[in-house]
Amino acid sequence: MTLPAHGSARFDLWAPEAGTVTLLADGREYPMTRRPGGGTDSGGGTAGDGWWTVPGAPASGDVDYGYLLDGDSIPLPDPRSRRQPEGVHALSRTFDAGHHQWADGQWAGRELKGAVIYELHVGTFTPEGTLDAAAGRLQYLAELGIDFVELLPVNGFNGTHNWGYDGVQWYAVHEGYGGPAAYQRFVDAAHVAGLGVIQDVVYNHLGPSGNYLPRFGPYLKSGEGNTWGDSVNLDGAESDEVRRYILDNAAMWLRDYHVDGLRLDAVHAFKDERAVHLLEDFGALADAVSAETGRPATMIAESDLNNPRLLYPRDVNGYGLAGQWSDDFHHAVHVNVSGETTGYYADFDSLGALAKVLERGFFHDGSFSSFRGRHHGRPINPALVHPAALVVCSQNHDQIGNRATGDRLSQTLGYGQLALAAVATLTSPFTPMLFMGEEYGASTPWQFFTSHPEPELGKATAEGRIREFERMGWDPSVVPDPQDPQTFTRSKLNWAEASEGDHARLLELYRALIALRRTTPDLTEPGFQDTVTVVSEEEGWLLFRRGGTEVAMNFSGEARRVPVSAGAIALATDDGVRLDPGAGPTSGGEPAAGRLHLPGHSAAILTN
């Protein structure tokens, strides 16, 4: 249950370990009192529930405020702050989400099945780097055929620009993007344009600057860290309120901001040993919000565990999430279009790996992972999961930005290989996601950028980045300085090139593929058991069939003749593709409509 947003209760605060709390609001001090509760402190006295309240505080209007704990002279911002107009170290400002007059009354939402997602970072999607400027590009996305816009994290972080994963104010919208009112305008405009909005949220760690949560209560578990620092307290003492803090935040996006779903960052980093896992709580929350609003509320987890339990219904001991990212698909496509086989790509060095992913969803489904040095994952039960629950891509912010130079596929591959990646992604049985600019082969990189105002933190970030890539065998001299403003500027899209040469050609292919996907049920309706693949490792081609539709892809640089059963070419990536009828049986023994001539690095979709 979310806290009241109106009246003096909007300043209620959870600070169970504080001896005194004073609200500083518009320059006046208001001593707060403990709210009655049923707990006991260590001495056997009444401890309350850890919440503080102040009935005499301003009950309406915009108020700048903060909290003085135990006689401190410097106020701290509200952990549930909706606005931080002067940054994450400064006073909070109240924001009434109910003032916005929504225009999306006709928006009925949509399910993942059959949808296409477009991932974007607000700061680099447009030259202006704001939510209002991004809203100006929504019609372009609608015409491309996109169904959901997925925003990288927009919560409050220190500095002017950042990927968003260093957030410390989970309830606030970064002021540089336009703040919460601009966020409402963006979601409203998206719905009017027929687009859903998925918000990327980070609940597994907090950023290094402006994290005041430990001052208020046991939000973190010291000594139980993950890759990014101390773990969030999901199962320790007083974790009930920490989980409530997280779930209230998720509910805020779904209810107050009308978003259609959440992408839950790196859920494998959650440390939760409770009988009801936090992910199951997310699944229950989504169902509750859907029942209230009549719109689907979609929870998508980023997980590298290859554990289908995340997707299984809660009534069979699953977590009941609508979807999860699938790295296996990305790795299989990346290796086969680029030839890169280092690190975690090593196991995917075959067309057979891509075929297995297309048929079963996970490549590592209990198989040995050489990168991990152990067996990994488990098979998906096709009776419990539709392929649409796996969100797949050939590029995303992580897989580009965590390369040493932030280089996209388009910076090293030609049109033919980019077209193959597009066909593999958009004809897969899964839910495809594009990374901003991918659709026209953007030549701009997407690099790791930060703007830490603290010199020592900026220096540590840059040096840590270099050490990381030195361990991976990269030349450290090519790693851009995250703190250099040009690293951020270089990562902004150049929209002018979308209408030029092969960029424009690729964009038209993406539009055609998405349109074909929308009108071809064989591409989106069948389950896992309905995909049949044929592979020639020697010749470098792969064909998969679902119903009466076949997708043939030639990953080699030489022309190939592929036996097919379907009789008509619905789409081809190369003008040299042709169908020669009546050439005998396929390698599987079925009668063939003919042989499909595929030039090097080309693909075609065929139908009966």
pLDDT over 90, % of the chain:
87
Determine the Cα–Cα distance for residues 468 and 471; give it in Å rounded to an integer.
5
Residue 476 pLDDT exceeds 90: no
**pLDDT tops 80 at residue 299:** yes
Note whether 551 and 473 are same-domain residues.
no
Answer yes or no: is pLDDT of 426 > 70: yes
- State the pLDDT confidence band at 594, using cuts at 50, 70 and 90: confident
In this predicted structure, what is the pLDDT of residue 365? Answer: 97
Any idea what the CATH number is for the domain that residue 384 is in? Answer: 3.20.20.80
Give the residue with greater pLDDT, 494 vs 591: 494
Statement: residue 572 has pLDDT above 90: yes
Which of these is catalytic: 265, 272, 280, 439? Answer: 265
Instruction: Report which residue type is found at 179.
Output: G
Mean pLDDT throughout 209-222?
Answer: 94
* Domain membership flag for residue 218: no
pTM for this structure? Answer: 0.95
Q: 294 pLDDT exceeds 90?
A: yes
Confidence grade of residue 3 (pLDDT, cut at 50, 70, 90):
low
CA distance 165 to 601: 36
Taking the C-alpha atoms of residue 344 and residue 353, their distance in angstroms, rounded to an integer, is 13
Residue 101 in domain? no
| Encoded tokens for 338 | 């680029």
**pLDDT tens for each residue of 488-528:** 999 999 999 999 999 999 999 999 999 999 999 999 999 99
What's 35's domain CATH number?
A: 2.60.40.10
Lowest mean pLDDT, pick from 13-22, 473-482, 560-569, 589-598: 589-598
Predicted local confidence at residue 566, as pLDDT: 83
**Is 210 a member of any domain?**
no
For the chain, give the mean pLDDT: 93
Whether residue 166 is found in the same domain as residue 298: yes
- Provide, rounded to the nearest whole percent, the portion of the chain with pLDDT above 70: 94
Per-residue pLDDT of 78-110, as tens digits, reads: 999 999 999 999 999 999 999 999 999 999 999
DSSP conformation letters of 78-131: PTT-SB-TT-TTS-EE---GGGS----TT-----STT--EEEE-HHHHSSS-SH
pLDDT bracket for residue 469 (50, 70, 90): confident
Specify whether 437 is located in the same domain as 473: no
Q: Is 222 domain-assigned?
A: no
- Is the backbone of residue 510 left (phi > 0), alpha (psi -120 to 50) or beta? alpha
Q: pLDDT of 42-76, one tens digit each?
A: 333 345 799 999 999 998 899 999 999 999 999 99
Is 90 inside a domain boundary?
A: no
**pLDDT attached to residue 535:** 97
Same domain, 46 and 138: no
What was the pLDDT predicted at 42? Answer: 35
Of 17-26, 33-42, 127-136, the least confident: 33-42
Specify whether 505 is located in the same domain as 586: no
Q: Examine residue 186 and state whether it is found in any structural domain, yes or no.
A: yes
The band of 463, judged by pLDDT with boundaries at 50, 70 and 90, is confident
Q: Any idea what the CATH number is for the domain that residue 565 is in?
A: 2.60.40.1180
In a shared domain, residues 160 and 255: yes
Residues 47 and 146 in one domain: no
Catalytic annotation, pick one of 150, 256, 260, 302: 302
For residue 85, being part of any structural domain is answered with no
pLDDT surpasses 50 at 271: yes
Q: How confident is the model at residue 227 (pLDDT cuts 50, 70, 90)?
A: low
Tell me: the pLDDT tens digits for 309-353? 999 999 999 999 999 999 999 999 999 999 999 999 999 999 999
**461 and 443 fall within a common domain:** no
- Please report, for residues 184, 226, 356, the alpha-carbon distance to residue 329 in angstroms, rounded to integers and kept in the order given: 34, 25, 10
Contact predicate 525/429, CB 8 Å = no
Measured CA distances, 91 to 11, 25, 88, 307 (Å): 13, 9, 8, 42
Domain check: are 271 and 180 in the same one?
Answer: yes
Does some domain include residue 84? no
For residues 563 and 429, membership in a common domain is answered with no
Does 567 share its domain with 603? yes
CB atoms within 10 A of CB 28: 12
Tally of structural domains, the chain = 4
227: helix, coil or strand? Answer: coil
For residue 53, the Cα-to-chain-centroid distance in whole angstroms is 36
Task: Convert the pLDDT of each residue in 132-187 to its tens digit.
Answer: 999 999 999 999 999 999 999 999 999 999 999 999 999 999 999 999 999 999 99
Residue 589 has pLDDT above 60, yes or no: no
Q: Which of 465, 495, 518 is the last residue of a domain?
A: 518
Structural domain containing residue 385: 117-204+243-452+484-518
Q: Is 302 a catalytic residue?
A: yes
- 434 with 568, same domain? no
| Per-residue pLDDT at 418 exceeds 80 | yes
Tokens 């599987």 correspond to 588
